Structures are given as C-alpha cells and as structure tokens.
Amino acid sequence: MIVKSLSLSNFRNYNRLFIEFNQDINILIGDNGQGKTNLIEAIYLLSVGKSFKTHIIKQMIMFDYDFAKVKGEVISNNKKRYLEIILGNDFKRAKIDDQDIYKISEYVGLLNVVVFIPDDLYLVKGGPRNRRRFVDLELSKISPIYVFNLSKYNNLLKERNKYLKVLNKKNINSDEYLEVLDEQLAKLQVELIKKRINFINKLGEKVKLIYQMISKKDDEIIDLCYLCFLKNEINYENILSMYKKNHQRDIRYMQTHIGIHKDDLGIYMNGNIADLFASQGQQRTIVLAMKVALIELIKDEIGEYPVLLLDDVLSELDETRKNMLLDILNQKIQTFITTTSIDGINHQIVEKAKKIYIKSGKEVT
C-alpha cells in the first residue's frame, strides 16, 4: 500500500496543504509543535477513521473553523483510490472515491497502516485496556467482519448496562429482555473470541522469531496468549451460563462484569509475565518485535504491506534497535518518520529518503 498524496483543510494547525510523498521513505523534519505528528495523525485517520491522539473530534479542527477535511490518494491492491474523512463539531463522514460511506466496516482496510509512537513502548507495562485496544484495532484492519461484530457487541453492551440500571431501580433480579441481551452477546462473543485467539497465535509466532533476530539471544523466549474471561470451552452455552450466574451482581453494581471487554493480551518472557520480569530494554525490544511482526502478519493476510508511521520513535531506541528497524524498513515498506533532526540517524536510509521540512503547519523548502 502507498499513500501518494495528502490534502488537508483546517486540520489541526494546517489551514491548507497539499503534499506528495515518496513511495519508499519519507522523513518529516521540524521542531516540536510545528505539525509533524499532525501529518502522521491525518494518514492514520484515513486508515481507520479515528485518531491515535484523541477521541474528541473538535480537537482535530482548526480553531475558529466548523469543519476539517483530510483526503488522500492511495494505491491499494494495485488500484488508485481516494479516501476522505470530513470532521464537523458534531459529525464525522467518510468517503471512498467521492462516494459517502455509512458503515465503518466498508471503509476500514482500504488503507492499512501500522503506527509506532513513544506511548507504544508502554504496551507491555500498561494496563489491559491498552492491549485490548491494540488487538481490536489491528484485527479490525484485516477483518471487516470483526469490525462489524465488535461494533454490534459494544452497542449491545451499552444497552445491557443501561438496562441493568433500570432493573436496579425496580429491584428486579432478572427478566426476559435481560436474557435476550445475554443471548445476543453470547452469540457474538463466540466468533469474536475465536478471531482474537487466531490473531494472537499468529502474531505470537512471528514475535518469537523477530524478537530473537533483534536481541540476538536464543535463551529469551517471548510468548503471547489470549487471557479470556471464559476458562472452559469457548461456546455459546458456557458464555450464556456465566451471564445468568452474574445477573444479581451485575444488577447490583449496574454494569456487566464479564465479557471480552474485560479480556487481556498476555505477554511472557521465558514463561514469566514480561511486565514484571523483563528489563526496560527487553520490554522495548518486545514492543518493537510486535510492531514488525504486525507488518508481516498484515502482509500475510491481505497480500501487501501496510504503510508504517513512526512518530518520534527513533529517538527512544538505542543504536542497535534503531538500526535493526531501519534495516527492515529499507527493504519493502512505505514509511513516514517524524524527527526534530536527521543528524542522529546514521543509516543509508536517510540518503534515499524524501525529506520534508515542516514549520508552523506548512511545508518549507
């Protein structure tokens, strides 16, 4: 996949911008606060319809304007496409080739990107919510049916939690509508859990190999596994049974205590929890291996490499990890790198890269 050009209107600190990119390496250079990360964010927005920085749409719209627009010309499956996201203070619209799109499952996947930001270095030591979000976002890019089912699950979960408050006020232990919601959630989760397990297993196989390639240490074994709320066989009956057993507790506390929204991605080194037993350097190598493995997994699933976005990450990596990453990028992947200076990047990749200098929301020469 390739992003050929990007057009911004009233997005962040960009009033108007049209910019063309190299199909290999693009280095965005500028001081902090000039708009480098905003360009990375715009490309990511075109991919999944969301920002990796905020969930508040208004923050992405330039001050004193009512809307923002991000449009990109991309090459996907050897076909030229135009993707567009329009943001308003109280709305968000997506377009493909100037045609309105009403289902996110029809949009996600046309442009696949992998973003690597400094906060990702805390993926190992952070909470389960961060890891769930990672799994859901990355799996959504390669499976439209997963996007569709996950959206249905989240809507049903909101409805169930809302209804639990009604039952709590009426002091009712259960009723038919709650059981209907249980049944619908149970059916959805069977497929969602299977998708997650399959994704994590495939990713884990690649992470194990790539980690050893980066670290050069055969005695450090990395394993990923899915930590599911359901400990016995994953089927509709077992999930439904758990919901029924938890009715009273759920009604008392007015929230759903079990389900995939509570699950986690387990990351282990030599059988021990990496958060507790891996050093900071080892944890960073694990995350780097996960990102590289994700690139390869997406290639396996959809037949082409995603676009890679590196937002100020190189400054967070030591020379060995930095060069290993750049060696991998040097081979096959369109990449966008933000940095305040290229002086510290001692790699041949800099010579062939397109260097784009950004100042105050503008490209400067």
Q: Three-state SS for 360?
A: coil
Q: What is the pLDDT of residues 171-226, one digit of tens each?
A: 888 789 999 999 999 999 999 999 999 999 999 999 999 998 888 888 999 999 99
The answer to the question of whether 30 is labelled as a binding residue is yes
pTM of the model: 0.85
pLDDT at 319: 78
The answer to the question of whether 37 is labelled as a binding residue is yes
- Containing structural domain, residue 355: 1-112+306-365
pLDDT at 325: 78
Q: Are residues 174 and 318 in the same domain?
A: no
Residue type, 225: C
Answer with the one of 301, 324, 340 that is the final residue of a domain: 301
Tokens of 325: 């990453």
pLDDT at 121: 76
Tokens of 317: 């990596």
Answer with the one of 279, 301, 323 that is the final residue of a domain: 301
The answer to the question of whether 35 is labelled as a binding residue is yes
pLDDT at 141: 84
pLDDT at 189: 96
Instruction: Classify each residue of 15-38 as buried b or exposed e, where b means 16 or more C-beta atoms within 10 Å of its C-beta.
Output: eebebebbebbbbbbbeeebbbbb
Whole-number Å distance between alpha carbons of 353 and 330:
10
Q: Please count the structural domains in the chain.
A: 2
Expressed in percent and rounded to 5, the helix, strand and coil fractions of the chain are: 50, 25, 25
The answer to the question of whether 36 is labelled as a binding residue is yes
Q: Are residues 106 and 132 in the same domain?
A: no
Query: What sign has the CA pseudo-torsion 135, 137, 142, 145?
Result: positive
Q: Are residues 139 and 78 in the same domain?
A: no
pLDDT at 109: 82
Closest Cα to residue 245, out of 159, 237, 191, 318?
A: 237
The total number of residues written for the chain in this structure: 365
Answer with the one of 301, 316, 332 that is the final residue of a domain: 301
Tokens of 84: 């567009």
The answer to the question of whether 31 is labelled as a binding residue is yes
Q: Are residues 71 and 47 in the same domain?
A: yes
Low-confidence ranges of the chain (pLDDT < 50): none
pLDDT at 266: 96
- Domain containing residue 82: CATH number: 3.40.50.300
Q: Are residues 68 and 127 in the same domain?
A: no
* Element at 162 (helix H, strand E): helix 144-170
- Domain containing residue 288: CATH number: 1.20.1050.90
The answer to the question of whether 335 is labelled as a binding residue is no
pLDDT at 302: 87
Judging by beta carbons within 10 Å of its beta carbon (0-12, 13-18, 19+), is residue 340 exposed, middle or buried? middle
The answer to the question of whether 33 is labelled as a binding residue is yes
The answer to the question of whether 34 is labelled as a binding residue is yes
Q: What is the pLDDT of residues 162-173, one digit of tens each?
A: 999 999 998 888
